[in-house]
Every structure is written in C-alpha cells, then in structure tokens.
Amino acid sequence: MDYSKLNGLIPAVIQDADSHEVLMVGFMNDEALARTRESGYATFFSRTRNKLWMKGETSGNRLAVTDILVDCDDDTVLVKVKRQGDGNVCHTGERSCFYRKLDTP
C-alpha cells in the first residue's frame, strides 16, 4: 500500500457486504490495516485521538470483515463488512454515516 499521499494514512471505505450500503469512511495506517486483517474486525487510526481504535470494541457494534479490496493505485481500501450488535454504524445512532442528502440543481 502507498501511505505517502496522506501522511501515513489511507482512506478506508466501509461497505455493507449484504445491503451494499456505504456505511462510513475512516482512515487506516499500516498498523490499523494489519490489525484489521489479523483480527477480522475493522480497525482505524483516529486522527483526533491519534491512536488505533477497533470500531465497536466497547459498544459491541463491531464490523466483521468479509473482504478487503485495494484500488488501482494502492492508496485506498474498500472493506466489506457484516454489522454486529445493533447494526447502527454512525455515532449519531443512524444506520450509516451518510444519512443526509445535498441539494443538486
């Protein structure tokens, strides 16, 4: 993977393996991606807290990885997941972080 473009990070798009909804976008560094692959649960690098976090580790709403795909220039991953717990991925309680629509002309 090429981590050089964003200071050691790559975007990780999280997609529901069954419904195909895009649930969230987080960032991973090399260690977060390695942990994700080893543990089978999506693990990110928090830019605000400056540390790794396994999504749902405390709430139980973990994201069990079914597939990880890499893009053509090795700087982004697409992580397909099955939702555990109550299945609400967003911290607002919504199912997906993308719950608001922008107006388009």
- Catalog residues that contact a copy of itself under the rule CB under 8 A: 5-6, 11, 13, 15, 20-22, 24-25, 37-38, 40, 47, 65, 67-73, 76-78, 90-92, 94, 97-105
The distance of closest approach from Cβ of residue 55 to a copy of itself in the complex, given in angstroms and rounded to an integer, is 14
The distance of closest approach from Cβ of residue 13 to a copy of itself in the complex, given in angstroms and rounded to an integer, is 5
- Identity of the residue, 20 or 58, whose beta carbon is nearer to a copy of itself in the bound complex: 20
Q: 25-44: buried (b, 16+ CB within 10 Å) or exposed (e) per residue?
A: ebbbbeebbebbeeeebbbb
- Identity of the residue, 47 or 51, whose beta carbon is nearer to a copy of itself in the bound complex: 47
- Compute how many other C-beta atoms are within 10 angstroms of the C-beta atom of residue 102: 4
- Identity of the residue, 6 or 54, whose beta carbon is nearer to a copy of itself in the bound complex: 6
Please tell me the number of Cα atoms within 13 Å of 70 on its side-chain side.
9
Q: Would you call 3 exposed, middle or buried from its count of C-beta atoms within 10 A (0-12, 13-18, 19+)?
A: middle
